[in-house]
Amino acid sequence: MPPVAHVDLPRFMGDWYVIAHIPSWPERDAYDAVESYALRDDGRIQTTFRYRDGSFDEPIKTMTPIGTVRPDTGNAVWGMQFIWPIQAEYVIAYLDDDYRTTIVGRSKRDYVWIMARSPRLDDAEYAGLVERVAALGYDTGKLRRVPRN
């Protein structure tokens, strides 16, 4: 999975709306999914993933993994730790110049996330991001658009 050349970490921090994904098991029925990042004093990244499981009426669930930037990757490859000591690969494979849209994937091409700073994208912009996901080697037939209220 080719990462972007460089990520300005402070600029990448904040809320990212999950627009579409090939989801991991816990998020397979996610609604209103938002991933938030905050730099910690120790240089790691506090991540908060919020979503509703199965419908808009469900209570918000939260997962809080910790990201660790892998050295010599331009801040574009992270180890995301949900359970100690395992760190899942997290590759920022696309990031637009304005830090408005991003694609995060994995070398295994098992999961991918299309995210944006706003909760919705127009059809043309979304289609362009789906094309990028396909170019990364993913089966875009598995993409799920995240329902958003």
Close Cβ partners of 68 (under 8 Å, ≥ 6 residues apart): 44, 45, 78, 79, 81, 87
Return d(Cα 39, Cα 42) in angstroms, integer.
8
Which tokens in the block code for residue 6?
């460089």
What does the pLDDT read at residue 88? 87
Give me the pLDDT at residue 45, please: 97
Q: Measure the CA–CA gap between 138 and 8, rounded to whole angstroms.
A: 26
Instruction: Check residue 102 and give its pLDDT.
Output: 98
Residue 70, both tokens = 């892998």
pLDDT in tens, the chain (149 residues): 999 999 999 999 999 999 999 998 889 999 999 999 999 999 999 999 999 999 999 999 999 999 999 999 999 999 998 767 777 899 999 999 999 999 999 999 999 999 999 999 999 999 999 999 999 999 999 999 999 99
Q: Please give the pLDDT value at position 86.
A: 73
Strand partners, 21: 113, 144
